Structure 1
Amino acid sequence: MADAGPLQRLGVLLKHLTLGDTDGHNGIALSPTAARGVSLPRFDTTVMESYLDELSSVKEDVYETFRHRPNLLPATLEGLSKEEHRELARQQLKLLLKAGYSPLRFYLHDIKKYFYLGELLAVVDLSLTVKMGVQYNLWGGSILNLGTEKHKKAYFEDIDKFRLPGCFAMTELYHGSNVAALQTEAVLDIATDEWIISTPDDGALKWWIGNAAEDGRAATVFARLKVPSPDGSGTLVDHGVHAIVVPLRDEAGTVLQGVEIKDCGYKVGLNGVDNGSIRFLGVRVPRENLLDRFASVDRSGQYRSPYSASRRFAATLGELTGGRVGLICSSLGVLKASLTVAVRYGATRQQFGPANAPEIAVLDYSSQQEKLMPMLASAYAIHFTSRYLVDQYAEAKRTKEEDVIADVHALSAGLKAYVTNYTATALSVCRECCGGHGYAAVNRFGMWRSDHDIFQTFEGDNTVLLQQVAGLLLKKYKERFAVAPVTATYRYLRQWAAESLPPNPLVSHETSVRHLRDPAFLVRALRYRTGKLLFTLAQRLSKHTRRMGQFQAWNKCLSHILTLARAHIESVMFERFLDGVNNCPDADCKKSLKVMAEVFALQRIQADVMFRNDDYVAAEKVKAIGRLLERLRAEIRAQAVPLVDAFNIPDHILRSPIGLSHQDPYDHYLEGAGWTATTPLTS
């Protein structure tokens, strides 16, 4: 508003929040309803933010870079054509490069900083995050992880500086998750020492390839490697899917001969990413273009690999785990942003109240707390788990230890599926919690939902990834307990869950608050659930496999399989959350983190009927958990604003009028509609 300066806005906000005392955070007040009975101390937001983000200086620098280019931070993207949005994402990426950031060097030398950058940029524009991921994690990462030193030397600098935009051409029209069934062919012509890349039919068209429609000048193409048989018969030996670098365009951007590219057009979201489909019509590339870290072919056509075919294929895909880690971090960034908006709006928006009394904040309603407070707790759980995963990923890259690599693969697969699905759900809930104003494009929920939705599909469909997690758990179970079923049951549960089984029925009926908040009880309960699901799944699969075969048995048990994977991930998340609580050096911050960790675990126990069916938690105990959860949610509500403030997302990056930290949320609505307020707003 032209005549609304900072003092006027402050006056408006204070008038709007006449109930209660201010909490000392961003001028947002807490009503007496929320303040009564609160046992948590007020923590220092800057201390919590510092504990959460050891790289907070990077955040400040990156976001400050964008502060000086407001033209690259539009209030809404809904009115942009796909061409305009693609140019915006291009310019955003170039701004980062011009500011001195080197994503590919981060990826190679400081992987924590690379993934952290992805989380930060997700709030700027998810198209930017995905475009960066395609260029550096997928295209650049495939060169670094699947190639050898000659490939790194040939491509590194041009990829890093975005002089050589590239693609990751794996997915085909007929095959996405089933990489082993890809149809694109790479046939070796021994006479010319070249690979001939061909698309045998329409089903083999490379599809949804990021950077392909406009920018990509080269691609890592996944194709079936076929070489002439050494017996001289003229037949071709198919060695399965390998990765080969294939040029797509010249320096002027002209598509090369033998390559056809079509634009995939408008998508539900992420229209700043230029997805395309590609056909190869006998494109010839040098034999050295094979990314040969795991397998090589010499001048005579001799194929060599130190691995069996299955191990080589697994090693190839295993090197692409970083893509999933990146999606987890970016999804977390969106989750934090959406919760920031919903919590701040809920703390300021007043609606109804007792008779003859002022209206109260919507966040003071228990129904609103039931929706948002567990999500806030889960965001913190995901934060600590993702940090742990990034640390483990860095350790796996450094040591190359097989056990660490296997653990990272399992956790990244399960966490990617869990987090992206959880964030998709949370975005809808946060939108609903903001009422009609959440539906306005300018408040960004619609864009976040549309852009983020595909995270549940790419880098591994979530359903497929959860099956991988369950498969790995079953493999470990069978390796450890190849004994009689009854013996295996108790041996497994003792080893997996330590003292998970209640020593006597009294534990099932124990309802004291001290017991319910005991981390040992919560850990044992979640481990018990995972152990029981794993054992019963193994028994079901064994029974059905004898009768109908392995594939049909797996399909019949699919719901059970997915439930097991989710339970395992939640158990891991809670334990990593507890690590975050225990390692916190500040007593006040630690108390708030502990309450959120308790809510995270108790809500899962309350919601899962298995605990009641097994009499692990008796009916009266379930009721006690419900009462405790209501109390703990109210405690978190009293700290909700500083808890989201600790995410430290600046207003110029958040760009949601109802979620800004220092302004009346209605100012931007008035401006956008052409209104000039002549008197302070009331609620």
Structure 2
Amino acid sequence: MSHRTDALVENAELQPLLPVIYIAWADGTLAQAESTHIKSIAEQLPAFDDEAQQTLDTWLDPDAPPTATELARLRRRIREQVGRRQPSLTAMSDAMSDASDGSVNEAVADYAREYGVSGMGVSAEIFQDTGEPVDQSVNEPEPSFEAAKLQTILEGDYAKKWQQVRDALAEDIFTYSTGESEESQRATVLRWLKYLATEKQDIAIGAMPESVGGQGDMAGFIHVFQALAMFDLSLVVKFGVQFGLFGGSIIFLGNDDHHQKYLPDIASGKLLGGFAMTESGHGSNVQEVETTATFDADTDEFVINTPTMSARKEWIGNAARDGHAVTLFAQLATGGENYGVHAFIVPIRTDDGEPAPGVRIEDCGSKMGLDGVDNGRLYFDNVRIPRENLLDRYASVAENGDYDSPISGSNKRFFTMLGTLVGGRISVGAASVTAAKKSLAIATRYATVRRQFGGADGSELRIIDYKTHQMRLFPAIAHTYAMHFAAFDLIARFRDRTDETAREVETLAAGIKSMASWHAIDATQTARECCGGLGFLAENQIATIRRDIDVFATFEGDNTVLLNLVSKNRLASFAKGFEQNLALTLVRELTSMARTELIDINPLTARKTDEDHLRSADFHLELLKLRKHNLLVAASRRLYKRVQQEDMEPFMAFSDIQDHMMAFAHADMHHHIAQTFADAVEPLADGPEKDALERMRQLSAIDTLLEHAEWYLTYGYISSGKYKALRNLRGALLGEIRPDALAYVEAFGIPDELLSAPIAFENYVGREPLKQAPRGERP
């Protein structure tokens, strides 16, 4: 034991300064100014004599730092005297003395302020590793709204469908496991699918026509599809392929005979099938698929062929292992004429599970995710099918080979057929939203129990209380709420579509699917990172969701291609694709659009920064609409110049400004999503649930505006002061949302057993569970 340490800890007069001296040396260095400051505090001690001065001088020499042993002895003395954590350096100093002195306390407080010494830092430094119990329990603030009531608003008219899925998934068969082989996962997902088809028939048969015992409720089916994403995305995809794509194509493209022959077995899972549209050489451009279906009038059959390697059917769900038939899209030829792409029912396996004659099946192989889905490749070599296997709602072929269709134009016929299948694209976007909800719910719950670094009285702070963590999670939750309402609105539009609104539904389906799936990828990645290494573990679900959701960016259409479709449809309301010799239509539309004026903004509005204005939906929608409109007008002018003045082909002109068109398509969707959110909130009865949604609406809209702040600032639509005010308001909204964080994700309505992730439960870190332990096997 050193002499100077004994002298310091045994000097009664210097006791109030011991915590100050310890903290001053805690980082290993002491500046001369800090030494002088501490000496000035000592001079205010009631009995500061020469002996105390000499002892203090030996400890406040910047060139003579204490050893680790000396500091440890000093810290032990403080612990013994103080006894427990104190909220501030002043309180700790006061606890070291028998008699309180106001002037000394104030001087210590001044020192703490000048050198940025926090109470939590002092407590953590002095009382670390003592074994003293610290209250680390999760005491979340009482939320301002009822999660169950908000859930009711979110699920709306389809609450019963969502609950029906929850009840089904509560069965013991739906249990998570990790570490399964690919073959085992495929078998498990098939078992789940067949259980739903046989034991929960209302779920599978709801979309089927009433003529085969269904309800004809395609919108309800999409909600079921979306709700299944609370559990497992491989099941979601296999369910969608079987009932939505395979079954749906027969529903919408077939006749009543097809319905009676195939749909009951499809609904019961007796006939498993796939949707063979995509080819190796043609994915998004379905109109140019190469597979042929040539009619042979002598045998009254179609002959299916794969003429080239690029014509092989690729990524066909249910093909590699389980499927026995597919809806195949091929070029129909009869009487020496090609009539374009049509759909056919083609068997691919025999009853004993072997490939059908002339059919070659390959497994696509190991994938990034969705290991429970058996994606395969299909090749056809003179495969013969009966003429009746043509799905002939929009076209038929007679026994003599004569072709007939109520739609004379091949382009219109093709897009009419594809338009009936838009429900699949809507389903993918909707399920993406649920995947984001689940990932963010897990990450938010974990953030309320995971502690890191200093907190009050030496306890560690929960990571959800860090502003940086809130900045990562809360905007993602807000955008998920926005996407929820956009998806629900789209399903309703699909349900109520008419011939006049079908084109708008198709456009929105392309845009919402793109925005929702990209958001799900980003939100799930954010959730994964917010959980650190534990988010990387398969048992905690997020890693699996992140892996599985990735393909949703290209599933049912590549997102970039789909947003190009949005911009094309907005530019030329009658164009089906600029490559289809519609130059005159395009030029007519562009001439009109190019003459449209750009929207400007009142200079006073550009600078207005009062809070009510910055929070208002009218202001948010005004700016989002302005960006959408002006980008479209500017794009049309650029296109018009290329087509009219430079004599460029319309398709090439469009390709030349695709960066501009993509920016417009994003802006168009941002405005639409914000509008649907505002439209959903505005009519609600005043109350805490409406207030809760309004906070989320504001955060989503403001975060979107700030994402494109450079554009608004560049063109003078907002001032720099307004930009700063918006940024500050976003920060304030994080604080407003924080007390309700758990309630917001609880309102997603995902049961604990479906969240499953151990990190979403408080008992994972050795405390009482929030609700109940997760269900599932552990490797």
Q: Report TM bin, short chain.
A: 0.7 to 0.9
Return the match for 1:367 from 468, 474, 499. Answer: 468
Q: Is 2:164 aligned against 1:66? A: no
Q: Does 1:262 align with 2:362?
A: yes
Cα distance in 2 for residues equivalent to 1:419 and 1:637: 24
Alpha-carbon shift at residue 17 of structure 1 (Å): 3.9
Aligned to 2:541: 444
Q: Are residue 287 (structure 1) and residue 376 (structure 2) matched?
A: no
Contact 1:249/1:255 (8 A) holds in 2: yes
2:78 equivalent in structure 1: none
Cα-to-partner distance string for 1:398-452 (whole Å, 9 max, x where unaligned): xxx2222111101110000111011101111111111121122211121111111
Do the aligned partners of residues 112 and 665 (structure 1) sit closer, same or farther apart at CA in structure 2, a change above 3 Å counting?
farther
After TM superposition, the structure 1 stretch with the greater mean CA deviation from structure 2, 165-174 or 110-119, is 110-119
What's the CA shift for 1:243? Answer: 0.7
**Structure 1: distance between partners of 2:699 and 2:671:** 13
- Structural mapping, 1:320-335, within 5 Å: 320-335=421-436
The total of aligned residue pairs comes to 618
Q: Which residue of 1 aligns with 2:250?
A: 143
Matches within 5 A, 1:213-228: 213-228=320-335
Maintained 8 Å contact 2:463/2:469 = yes
Tell me whether 1:544 sits opposite 2:636 in the alignment: no
CA distance in 2, matches of 1:539, 1:211: 47
Distance in structure 2 (CA, Å) of the matches to 1:187 and 1:486:
46
Cα distance, 1:649 vs structure 2: 1.0
How far apart are residue 481 of structure 1 and its match? 6.7
Deviation at 1:485, TM superposition (A): 6.9
The correspondence for 1:427, drawn from 511, 521, 524, is 524
Measured in 2, the distance between the counterparts of 1:116 and 1:80 equals 29
SS in 2 for 1:124: coil
Q: What is the distance in 1 between the residues matched to 2:701 and 2:463?
A: 25
Give the superposition deviation at 1:354: 5.3
Alignment-derived partner of residue 490 in structure 2: 389
Q: CA RMSD in A?
A: 2.3
- 2:721 is equivalent to residue 623 of structure 1: no
- Segments of structure 2 that go 5 or more residues without pairing to the other structure are 1-132, 209-215, 575-585, 768-772
- Residue 5 (structure 1) aligns with: none
Residues 103 and 170 of structure 1, relative CA distance in 2, 3 Å threshold: farther
Provide the secondary structure at the position in 1 that maps to 2:367.
Answer: coil
- Alpha-carbon displacement from aligned partner over 1:153-199 (angstroms, at most 9, x marks no partner): 11110111011111111111111111111111111111111101111
CA distance in 1, matches of 2:331, 2:373: 27
Which of the numbers 476, 484, 509 marks the counterpart of 2:607? 509
* Letter in structure 2 aligned against 1:165: L
The CA deviation string for residues 76-95 of structure 1, in whole angstroms up to 9 with x for no partner, is 3xx22221111111111122
Equivalent residue letter for 1:576: T
Cα shift at 1:641 = 0.6
Question: Following superposition of structure 1 onto structure 2, how do residues 15-414 of structure 1 map, counting pairs within 5 Å?
Answer: 17-18=136-137, 21-24=139-142, 42-54=144-156, 55-69=158-172, 72-76=174-178, 79-108=179-208, 109-228=216-335, 236-307=336-407, 308-353=409-454, 357-396=458-497, 401-414=498-511
Residue type at the aligned position of 2:288: A
CA–CA separation in structure 2 for the residues paired with 1:216 and 1:460: 22
User: Aligned partners of 1:167, 1:81: CA distance in 2, in Å?
Assistant: 23
Report the alpha carbon displacement of residue 664 of structure 1 after superposing the two structures with TM: 4.0
CA distance in 2, matches of 1:487, 1:116: 43
Question: Taking CA–CA contacts closer than 8 Å with sequence separation of 6 or more, which of the two structures ends up with the larger relative contact order?
Answer: 1
- Summarize the alignment of residues 425-574 of structure 1 with structure 2, pairs less than 5 Å apart: 425-476=522-573, 487-489=595-597, 493=599, 501-502=600-601, 504-545=602-643, 546-547=645-646, 548-574=648-674
**Distance in 1 (alpha carbons) for counterparts of 2:572 and 2:663:** 17
User: Does structure 2 conserve the Cα–Cα contact (< 8 Å) formed by 1:325 and 1:412?
Assistant: yes
Amino acid at match of 2:640: S
- For the 8 Å contact 1:659–1:665, the answer to whether it is kept is no
**Pairs within 5 Å for 1:609-648:** 609-648=710-749
Question: Which amino acid in structure 2 is aligned with residue 73 of structure 1?
Answer: T
User: Within 1, Cα distance between the matches of 2:284 and 2:166?
Assistant: 36
Worse-superposed segment, 419-428 or 100-109? 100-109
The answer to whether the 8 A contact 2:590-2:637 is kept is: no
Whole-Å separation in 2 of the counterparts to 1:650 and 1:408: 32
Q: Distance in 2 between matches of 1:223 and 1:484?
A: 38
Whole-angstrom distance in 1 between the partners of 2:470 and 2:691: 19
Matches of 2:509 and 2:466, distance apart in 1 = 36
TM-score (norm 1): 0.87
- Residues 246-255 or 355-364, more deviating: 355-364
User: Structure 2 vs 1, CA of residues 542 and 385 (structure 1 numbering), >3 Å: closer, same or farther?
Assistant: same
Residues 550 and 208 of structure 1: CA distance in aligned 2, closer, same or farther (over 3 Å): same
Equivalent residue letter for 1:512:
D
The whole-number CA distance in structure 1 between the counterparts of 2:759 and 2:766 is 7
Cα distance in 2 for partners of 1:550, 1:620 equals 42
In 1, the alpha carbon distance for the partners of 2:632 and 2:167 equals 49
Closer/same/farther in 2, CA of residues 194 and 596 from structure 1, 3 Å limit: same
Residue 616 of structure 2 aligns with an amino acid whose one-letter code is D
Q: Secondary structure of 2:207's partner?
A: helix
Identity percentage over the alignment? Answer: 36
Give the TM-score taking structure 2 as reference length: 0.76
| Aligned positions of 1:661-676 closer than 5 A | 663-665=763-765
| Structure 2 counterpart SS, 1:221 | strand
Distance 2:491 2:715 in 1: 36
Distance 1:673 1:199 in 2: 45
Higher alpha-carbon deviation: 418-427 or 401-410? 401-410
The amino acid of 1:531's aligned partner reads: H
Instruction: Give secondary structure in 2 for the equivalent of 1:336.
Output: helix
Listed as ranges, the gaps of 5+ residues in structure 1 are 1-13, 26-41, 229-235, 494-500, 675-683
**What secondary structure is seen at the aligned counterpart in 2 of 1:196?**
strand
Counterpart of 1:226, as a letter, is A
The Cα of 1:535 is off from its aligned counterpart by 0.4
Aligned mates of 2:777, 2:380 — CA distance in 1: 49
Identify if the C-alpha distance between structure 1 residues 302 and 614 changes in structure 2 by more than 3 Å, giving closer, same or farther: same
Q: Judging changes above 3 Å, is the alpha-carbon distance between structure 1 residues 665 and 551 closer, same or farther for their aligned structure 2 residues?
A: farther
> Do the aligned partners of 2:594 and 2:633 also contact (CA within 8 Å) in 1?
no
2:512 is the alignment partner of 1:415? yes
Q: Is the 8 A contact 1:72 1:88 kept in 2?
A: no
For 1:594 and 1:344, locate their aligned partners in 2 and report how far apart those are by CA, in whole Å: 22
Q: 1:102, 1:160 within 8 Å by CA — same for their partners in 2?
A: no
Deviation at 1:482, TM superposition (A): 6.4
Contact 2:572 2:590 in 1 (8 A): no
For 1:677, the equivalent position in structure 2 comes to none
